[in-house]
Amino acid sequence: MPNSRLNLIILGTLFGITAFDTLLLAFAIPKLISEYGFSHSGAGFLGTILMTGVGVGAIVLGTLSDVVGRKRVIFFSVIIFTFFTGLLSFAESYLLFAFFLFTSGFGLGGGLTLSIAYLPDIIDKSLDKYMCYFESFWGVGALCIVAASYFLIQRPLTELFLIGALPIIFLPLFYQLPDVRANERKSVSGNVRDLIFKYGRITPIIWAIWFCGVFTYYGVFLWLPNIIISQEGYKLGNAILMPIYGVQIVSPFVLSLIVKENNTEKLLAVYSFVAAVSTLLFIYSKTLMLTGIFITSFFSIGGWVLLILATQKSYPQKIRGLGVGSAASVGRIGGIIAPYLTGYLIDVYGTFKIPFWIFVSFFMAMAVLALFIPAMRR
C-alpha cells in the first residue's frame, strides 16, 4: 500500500484506544476496594471477567475477519467495546456490571487482534520498524488513562467508565482503512486444519509464550496502580505511575533502532530476561523499587512488540487472523487467571511479593521458549 504512514496512524489509534479501555479497570480497582469494600480477590475477579471476554473476542472475531474481511469486524469491535464500557456507569448490580465488562472485553479482544493481524496486510515497508512504531500507541493509550484517572481522583467512579465510551468518536477514522481480504480465501474449518497440521510445530510454542506474556503484563499492570497508590496515596501514587506507564511509549521507538529481520526471537529472550531481573528489584529493593518497575515496564512492552512480530511472521496472510487470534485467545487464559490469582494471593499473604515471584518465573519461561521459535518454524 502506498500510504503506509497513514495506515499506521489509523491502526495505531485503534490499538491505543483498546489500551485505554483495557487498562481502565486497573485504575478503577483502588476505588472499588476503598469505596465499595471489595476484597482484593473480588476486585481481581472483575479483571478475570474482562480477560475472559477479551479471550473469547480474540478467537471469534479474529477467525471471522479471515472470512468476511478485517475492516468490517473492526467496526463491530469498536462499537461493542466503547458502548459497553460506557454502560458500566449505569450498572446497578454486580451481575450486570460483570455482564457489561465481559461484553466490553469481547469487543476489546477483536480490536486488539485485528489491529495486530491487519498491520502486515497494509504496510509496504519494513514490518519490524513499523511494528515498533505501532506498539508505541499502546503506551499513548496507557498514559491517557493514567492522566484521566489523575484528574478524576475526587470524582465519582462512574465518570471514569463514561470516559471509556469516548473512543467511539474515532469510528469514522477507521473507515479510511483499505478493505483487505486474504488472497486465498478458505472456510473457517479449512483454516483451522491448516493451523493444526501445517503449522502444528510452531503454534504450541507461540501459544505458550503468549500465555506467559499476557499473564505477566495484566498481572503486573492491572494491580500496579493499587500497589503504588496503597503505599503513596492517591495523588502522589498517580503521579508516580505516569512515567512508569509513559515509558511504554518510548520503549518501542528504542527497539526500532535495533530490531532486524533475523534477531526478533533473540531480542525477545533478552528483553524477557531483563524484565525478570527488574521485577526482582521491585520485589526486594526498597531504594530501587520504583526503578525496578520502571525497567519492567520498558522491557515488558518491548517484549510484546517482539512477540507480536514473531507471531505475524509465523503465519501466512490467509490464516493470520486465526493464527494471531488463537494465540491471543490462549494468552488471555493467562489474563483470566492472573488478575484473580494476584488479588487472592495478596489477600492470603498480605503482600504483593508472592504473585510477583510468579511473574518473575513466567518472564524467565518466555526467555527460554523464545529461543526455540526459529527451530520450530523450519
pTM over cut 0.75: yes
**Alpha carbons 7 and 1: distance in angstroms, whole number:** 9
Site of grid cell 481522583: 153
**Alpha carbons 209 and 327: distance in angstroms, whole number:** 9
Question: Which pLDDT value is given to residue 1?
Answer: 44
Would you list the domain boundaries of the chain?
A: 4-166+190-377
CB atoms within 10 A of CB 355: 20
Closest CA to 303 of 272, 279, 332: 272
The two counts, helices (H) then strands (E), for the chain are: 15, 0
Between 39 and 372, name the one with better pLDDT: 372
Question: Which pLDDT value is given to residue 180?
Answer: 62
As given in the structure block, the three cell numbers for residue 284 are 526486594
What is the Cβ-side half-sphere exposure of residue 36, based on CA atoms within 13 angstroms? 17
**Alpha carbons 192 and 257: distance in angstroms, whole number:** 36
As given in the structure block, the three cell numbers for residue 97 are 456490571
DSSP string, 125-150: S-HHHHHHHHHHHHHHHHHHHHHHHH
Residues 144-171 have pLDDT tens digits of 888 887 776 667 777 888 888 998 999 8
Mean of pLDDT values over 231-250 = 76
As given in the structure block, the three cell numbers for residue 150 are 489523575
Residues 171-184 have pLDDT tens digits of 899 888 887 655 54
Question: Which pLDDT value is given to residue 211?
Answer: 94
Q: Is the pLDDT of residue 208 over 90?
A: yes
**Alpha carbons 301 and 138: distance in angstroms, whole number:** 9
Question: Which pLDDT value is given to residue 228?
Answer: 82
Closest CA to 335 of 200, 247, 251, 223: 223
CB-based contact 138:248 (threshold 8 Å)? yes
What is the Cβ-side half-sphere exposure of residue 131, based on CA atoms within 13 angstroms? 27
CATH 1.20.1250.20 fits 4-166+190-377, yes or no: yes
CB-based contact 339:216 (threshold 8 Å)? no
As given in the structure block, the three cell numbers for residue 359 are 511473574
Identity at 223, one-letter amino acid code: W
Element (H, E) at 204: helix 203-232
**Alpha carbons 300 and 247: distance in angstroms, whole number:** 11
DSSP string, 46-107: HHHHHHHHHHHHHHHHHHHHHHH-HHHHHHHHHHHHHHHHHHGGG--SHHHHHHHHHHHHHH
CA of 332: how far to CAs of 74, 303, 343, in Å?
19, 16, 17
Closest CA to 354 of 363, 343, 365: 343
CA 366, distance to chain mean position in Å, is 16
Backbone angles phi, psi at 260, to 5 degrees: -135, 170
**Alpha carbons 256 and 11: distance in angstroms, whole number:** 18
Residue 266: which pLDDT band, with cuts at 50, 70 and 90?
Answer: very high
Residue 313: which pLDDT band, with cuts at 50, 70 and 90?
Answer: confident
Question: Which pLDDT value is given to residue 153?
Answer: 66
